[in-house]
Chain A
């Protein structure tokens, strides 16, 4: 729900900007291998919250995470994580951040509890604290009785939860999640995304999550960073991506007086000079949804008054966001056009 509000009013967005302290900052960060340039003068600032890192395979996502963990020196430029320089404070950074790799990383012959306790100790937690934090964290990620069984018998969804738990067990200030929804079915995917959202809202831990599915990031992230070929394509907040135009979706009930309430509202709004689109998209059953462009507060009032005058019930009035992918598609088209014009 707070996310919806965030989309409705720009005021909330401003508050996050005021709070913003940089969690990750890179400055013309480059990483060159003998044959490939993995990162090319990447400068990006990431604030607290959930940040999506998008890029195709080989775009430099993993290389960036490696450098940010202080495990691989940058060829050029500098980077800071939580205000610590990655070149000199690698160990301090790794004590304060968590990392969930993309690939499998769990030994099958130990239980989730034993494994996560061990990983907690590897993060520097004393034995008792490690055990307590493990129990807490496994519960938070949704593993209960099964945590005493060997990991080998777990489903993919449960394994992903264990991987997430080991990244959170030492209560880091920031976690890197590499493709956390890989291999999950739609339900598992939704649960994982909800969990990622909670990592920030409930646990207060900032998240850098990579994915190649834009739809996921749109639902989960406050901020999206797009890299391609090691270069920064775009970095902006999700609301910027999706709030270029605010579309309002309304659905009303029918009454005896107005057997087709939807049409009555449309005509009535049209009479007052408001453009109304059909929200059906040719899908059956969706014809009851009207889409209109919100001009500001007065549009909401107008809709309320019109519906009240007609004596109908207002079932739904919600902000429809544009999808990030649409923004990207249009941007790509623009770039292509520019390229055509350029040549």
Chain B
């Protein structure tokens, strides 16, 4: 008997395998966590997707590369500051994102279509709306996810700068204030850029068009605005410079932070908006963010099933 039993088990193995296939259907009577959980799941999936996590290796390359490109200059600056025992960081916290705007635009251009155009192109959207979530939940989750991804991208180098500044024993209160102002500035920038990127990307199911359109909107508007500002500066009509700045996302953020967040303006002749003009900037930024959200809602009302 004792000899027979071990012999039986290998014989039974193929039987066991077939039995696995024959397990009957099991009902699910566990919890169903509903709408808000589903929205959070979509948010985390989209946020992870913005860095290629949970997707193919190929789709990890670009976002990760851009993240590294964002952080390396900050690390170098910190290294220089520590080595040269400088009294201040070579770049303001608020200025960093403005300098790196090309990288940020590229990131928005690549990830906004990834986030929404794919769902449109492969018609996955109806599957979402056949589940408990509503149109607004979908839009909120996607918007929040891309804005968070952008915040991670823009705040990480600021963190590198801040940590480096503390290591270099620069003035703590001064650095903390700058860092906080920088965070507020990049938070606004993330919301604005994510909104613009998503609105453009949600119009087309073609990813290529989406990428091209986002890059075009970001660079052409900035190019046009800074050219006009330079001309205005040349002709000594400095009063016009802040008003022209209202027409591109980057200069909008620049204006807001130079009016309220203690940043030095990157405008020609460093002519930042006054407090009154700055208020207009803030209103325009907030209005644009709200408008992007509203446009996305309207867009997805139509997509449906």
Contacts and interface: CB of A to CB of B under 8 A. Distances in A.
A122 B133 contact: yes
A12 interface: no
Contact of A106 (B55, B124, B134): B124
Given A66-B305, A69-B130, A101-B127, A125 B32 contact: yes
B134 A91 contact: yes
A171 B127 contact: no
A109 B1 CA distance: 54
B126 A101 contact: yes
Nearest to B25: A203
Nearest to B122: A107
Contacts of A129: 28, 30-31
**Which of B55, B123, B132 has the most chain A CB atoms closer than 10 A to its own CB?**
B132
A62 B305 contact: yes
B37 interface: yes
A72 interface: yes
Nearest to B38: A122
Nearest to B119: A107
B45 A124 contact: no
B21 interface: yes
Interface stretch (A38-46, A133-141, A274-282): A133-141
B127 A119 contact: yes
B38 to A, nearest CB: 5
B140 interface: no
A71 B129 contact: yes
Nearest to B126: A101
A94 B130 contact: yes
A104 interface: yes
B38 A124 contact: yes
Contacts of B42: 122
Contact of B132 (A95, A103, A202): A95
Interface in B17-66: 21, 23-28, 30-35, 37-38, 41-42, 45, 54-56, 59
Interface in A38-85: 62, 65-66, 69, 71-72
B128 interface: yes
Nearest to B133: A122
Contacts of A98: 130
Interface string A147-181: 00010000000000000001000110000000000
Interface residues of A, number: 42
B95 interface: no
Interface string A269-304: 000000000000000000000000000000000000
Nearest to A119: B127
A121 interface: yes
A71 B25 contact: no
A122 B41 contact: yes
B206 interface: no
Interface string B141-164: 000000000000000000000000
Contacts of B118: 107
B304 interface: yes
B131 interface: yes
Contact of B32 (A109, A136, A170, A202): A170
A129 B26 CA distance: 12
Given A118-B45, A124-B132, A202 B124 contact: no
Contacts of B54: 114
A204 interface: yes
- Best-buried of B23, B30, B56, B59 by chain A (most CB within 10 Å): B30
A125 B27 contact: no
A126 B127 contact: no
Contacts of A62: 305
A258 B209 CA distance: 79
Contacts of A171: 27-28
Contacts of B45: 118, 121
A232 interface: no
Closest 8 CB pairs of A and B: A171-B28, A99-B130, A124-B32, A121-B41, A203-B25, A124-B33, A91-B132, A107-B122
27 contacts: A69-B305, A91-B134, A92-B132, A94-B132, A95-B32, A101-B123, A101-B130, A103-B123, A105-B122, A105-B127, A106-B124, A107-B124, A108-B122, A109-B55, A110-B55, A118-B45, A121-B38, A122-B127, A123-B132, A124-B31, A124-B35, A124-B37, A124-B38, A124-B131, A125-B33, A136-B23, A204-B27
Given A94-B132, A104-B123, 5 more contacts: A101-B126, A108-B122, A121-B41, A124-B31, A126-B31
Interface of B: 21, 23-28, 30-35, 37-38, 41-42, 45, 54-56, 59, 118-119, 122-124, 126-134, 304-305
